[in-house]
Amino acid sequence: MSTRIKVCGVTRIEDALRASELGADALGFVFWPGSPRFVDPEQVRAIVKALPPFVAAVGVFVNQTPDYLASVASTAMLTAVQLHGDEDPAAYAAVARRLIKAVSLSPDFDAAHAVSALPQAVTMLLDAHDPIRRGGTGRTIDWQVAAGLARMRRVILSGGLTPGNVAKAQAAVQPYAMDVSSGVEASPGVKDPAKLRAFFAALAAPAAARGDTTRAAFRDPTRT
């Protein structure tokens, strides 16, 4: 099965529709006010209602309360919740959405500890270490470390993915999914149509060579 793709930091309906038409399995919406890609839950609700069936909507949060997450998840019609701060996923079980937990590959990163500390039901997203910006930095991570983690559990590869390196990243890590944000932008929160097309085209060439013609998704099979 091919790697799933999440286009994150979406703020505009035209970008959401273009990404889904190109083959995005999920779209990410940032609800942390400290991000230049911050969006309002009602704005996201309107975008999600316009999406084709089976495209997942993932909310990105940073150290925000479980009650706030639950409220936003309901209003914005989210499929999954991504915790991108210092949260303990166990505290968010009541949100009643699939959980994704961002794990920063800092210089002292301990892969064995990271795997044992995170429940298997929570999907691990690997990103560059940045305690201030919390993602969308455009910096790549150590793909060799990421590949080791991908052999142990389901992971989402993030950090500095672009049309120019995504095929190499997929081949090197073989993750469950990949997450792109700044690598397909004209400016923070505004996706560049040419970069989006190039990103998916870069993935399509090696996939076609392998004989992969379809891709299952992060998608919610109950959404109509």
Cβ burial, residue 211 (10 Å; 0-12/13-18/19+): exposed
Residue in 127, 143, 144, 132 with CA at minimum distance from that of residue 182: 127
Interacting residues of 19 by C-beta distance below 8 A, sequence separation 6+: 7, 10, 27, 191, 196
Name the 3-class secondary structure at 183.
helix
8 is catalytic: yes
Catalytic: which of 15, 127, 179, 220?
127
Catalytic: which of 8, 15, 179, 220?
8
Cβ burial, residue 50 (10 Å; 0-12/13-18/19+): exposed
Active-site residue set: 8, 127
